[in-house]
Amino acid sequence: MKVAIVGAGSGYMPGIVRGLLHRADDLAGTELACYDIDAVHLDVMTRLARNMFAARGAAFTVSSHTALKAALDGASYVFTTFRPGGLAARHLDESIPLKHGVVGQETAGPGGFLMALRSVPVLLDIAEKADAGAWIVNYTNPTNVVTDAVARHTGARIIGLCDQFIGDTEMWAELLGLPSDGLEADWIGLNHATWAQRLRLDGRELDVPLLLDDLEVPGGGATPWRDPSRMAELAKTLGFLPNSYSKYYFFHDEVVAELRAKGTTRAQDILAMLPGYYEQVAAESRKADPDPSRERGGGEHGEFAVDVICALHRDEGRRMIVNTRNNGAIASLDADAIVEVPALVGRSGPVPLTMGPLPGPVRGLTQAIHAYERLASDAAVTGDRRTALQALMAHPFVRSKHTAERILDEGLAAHQDHLPQF
Ligand code: G6P
Ligand code: MN
C-alpha cells in the first residue's frame, strides 16, 4: 500500500510520524511518498521519519518527492496538509480583515475565505492527478470548504479532518470535573462550528443541562486554541457545549479589540518560533533515535489522521467525527452539505450517523455559515468575483457590503500569486 503525504515538510510532520508509529503494525509494509515544494524542510522531515521508523523497527519505506505526480502515482491514500503561501500568507489572511474591524481568523473567518481561494485550486489539481479511487484524507484548511469543493466538482473521494473536537472534549472534561478517558461527545454541525447536546461517560448518557447548571465559570486560562472561561459562559446560556471557535461568533467585537491590543497576528507569533523549531527537529533528525519537539500538532493531530486512514483501509467501521456529505444525518442542513458529524468509517468511506436537528439557539447561525461556505467553495472553484463578494457578504462576521468589498479587493491583490482562478 502507498500513502502520499502532500505537505510533508510541514511543522506538523513529527506528529504524523508519531501517529504512523502508533499504528505501525497495522500499516506494516506501507510506502510513504513524501511531497513538498520546500525541498529543505522535506529533507529534514523525511530523514526524521526514516530514523524514527528505524529506531522502532517500523516497516515503512519513505520516498521523497518534489514532483507531485510521482508522489501520487499508485497511492491509495493522499494525505493533504499544506498551506499555500505559508505563514506569510496566513498573516495577510489574519490582518487584512482586522484592518476593517473584522476578525480575520485563518479558518472560520474571512481569513479562512482567502485561504480557501488558495487551497482549493491546489486540491482540485491533486484530485485530478491522483489515481482513480484514491482517498484524499484532508487536513488543509478550511477543511469544510476544501472538502466541499472537491466533493462537488471532482470525481475524487475525500474525507475532511479536524482534531479540534479531541482537545475540546478534553477541555470540557476538565471544566465539568469528569475524567477525559471514556468521555465521548456527539459534536455536530460544520467544521469549527459544532455543538454537542449529548455527552457519554463509558457509554452512559450524562445530563448535560444539569452539569451546565452546576458549572462555575472559571477565569482566564485562554490559549490560542481554547478559551475555557468564554466557553463555560456560553454553554451556561446555550444549554449545550459549543466548539471553541464559537468564540469568534459570540464575542466577535471583544476579540477584535483584543487582537488589536495584542499587536501581532498568530501567524507572526508562529513565524517567530518556527526557525528554532525546525532547528530542533533537524538536529533530532540526525540522531539514531530522534525525539522531535511536540510544539506543533502535539499528539492527537497526527494520530487522528493515521487512525482515519487505518479505519478506511482496514474496514474498521470505527466511530469517528469527520467532515463528510450530510446525507440527512443533520436534519437542519442540506443533504449534500459537508458536515462535521460522528460517522462509522470503513472501506466504502464514512457513513454519517443520524443526529437529528441542530439545537435551536444555533440553528440559524449554522445554516448561515453553511450558506457562506457553499458560496466560498463556488467562488474558489470558479474564480467568479461576484460569487466571492456574495460569500463575504454572507459571512456572519461581515456586516457591510463595503467592508466585504475591501477585504476581497485587498485579499485578491495580496494573494494574486496563489490565485490562478482569478
Ligand atoms: C486547531 C484547528 C486547526 C487549526 C489549528 C491552528 O488545531 O483545529 O484547524 O489549523 O488549530 O493552530 P495554530 O497553532 O496554527 O494557530
Ligand atoms: Mn481544525
Cell numbers describing residue 43: 529533507
Q: Ligand 2 centre from 145 Cα, in Å?
A: 12
Q: How confident is the model at residue 25 (pLDDT cuts 50, 70, 90)?
A: very high
The sign of the CA dihedral 332, 336, 338, 340 is positive
Gap between the Cα atoms of 82 and 5, Å rounded: 10
Q: Ligand 2 centre from 108 Cα, in Å?
A: 9
Is the pLDDT assigned to residue 152 strictly greater than 80? Answer: yes
User: In this predicted model, what pLDDT tens digit does every residue of 330-388 receive, in sequence order?
Assistant: 999 999 999 999 999 999 999 999 999 999 999 999 999 999 999 999 999 999 999 99
Gap between the Cα atoms of 50 and 62, Å rounded: 7
User: In this predicted model, what pLDDT tens digit does every residue of 56-78 receive, in sequence order?
Assistant: 999 999 999 999 999 999 999 99
Counting ligand 1 atoms within 8 A of each CB, the residue from 141, 146, 322 with the most, and so the one to mutate, is: 141
Q: Ligand 1 centre from 162 Cα, in Å?
A: 9
Q: Ligand 1 centre from 296 Cα, in Å?
A: 9
- For atom 12 of ligand 1, the residue with the nearest CA is 225
Selection from 118, 122, 113 nearest residue 390 by Cα: 113
Cell numbers describing residue 81: 496538509
* DSSP class per residue in 392-417: HHHSTT---HHHHHHHHHHHHHHTGG
The predicted pLDDT at position 232 comes to: 98
The predicted pLDDT at position 297 comes to: 82
Q: How confident is the model at residue 117 (pLDDT cuts 50, 70, 90)?
A: very high
Kindly report the CA angle at 23 between 287 and 16, in degrees rounded to 5? 55
Q: Which residues contact 181 (CB under 8 A, 6 or more apart)?
A: none
Task: Answer yes or no: are the C-beta atoms of 147 and 338 closer than 8 Å.
Answer: yes
Is the pLDDT assigned to residue 263 strictly greater than 80? Answer: yes
252-255 CB contacts, 8 Å cutoff, 24+ apart:
252/103, 252/397, 255/103
Task: Answer yes or no: are the C-beta atoms of 377 and 143 closer than 8 Å.
Answer: no
Task: Name the active-site residue from 77, 139, 245, 249.
Answer: 245
Q: How confident is the model at residue 93 (pLDDT cuts 50, 70, 90)?
A: very high
The percentage of the chain sitting over the pLDDT mark of 70, rounded to a whole number, equals: 100
- Would strands 241-242 and 193-201 be described as parallel, antiparallel, or unpaired? antiparallel
Q: Which ligand is nearest to the CA of 10?
A: 1
Measured from CB, residues less than 6 Å from any atom of ligand 1 are 107, 141, 162-164, 224-225, 266, 270
Residue where the block lists cell 494520530: 303
- Burial class from Cβ neighbours inside 10 Å (0-12, 13-18, 19+) for residue 372 reads buried
* DSSP class per residue in 127-177: HHHSPTTPEEEE-PSSHHHHHHHHHHHSS-EEEE---HHHHHHHHHHHHHT
Q: From the alpha carbon of 266, which atom of ligand 1 is closest?
A: 16
Task: Answer yes or no: are the C-beta atoms of 143 and 160 closer than 8 Å.
Answer: yes
- 266-285 helix and 39-56 helix, angle to the nearest 10 degrees: 50
Q: Which ligand is nearest to the CA of 115?
A: 1
Counting ligand 1 atoms within 8 A of each CB, the residue from 162, 248, 277 with the most, and so the one to mutate, is: 162
Is the pLDDT assigned to residue 296 strictly greater than 90? Answer: yes
- 228-238 helix and 164-176 helix, angle to the nearest 10 degrees: 80
User: Active site includes 248?
Assistant: no
- For atom 2 of ligand 1, the residue with the nearest CA is 164
- For atom 4 of ligand 1, the residue with the nearest CA is 107
Gap between the Cα atoms of 341 and 198, Å rounded: 13
Is the pLDDT assigned to residue 298 strictly greater than 90? Answer: no
Residue where the block lists cell 466585504: 404
Average pLDDT, the chain: 98
Q: Ligand 1 centre from 225 Cα, in Å?
A: 7
- 360-382 helix and 143-153 helix, angle to the nearest 10 degrees: 60
Averaged pLDDT, 215-236: 96
The predicted pLDDT at position 393 comes to: 99
CB atoms within 5 A of ion ligand 2 belong to 162, 164
Averaged pLDDT, 116-142: 98
Q: Which ligand is nearest to the CA of 166?
A: 1
Q: How confident is the model at residue 144 (pLDDT cuts 50, 70, 90)?
A: very high
Bridge partners of 325, per DSSP, are 338
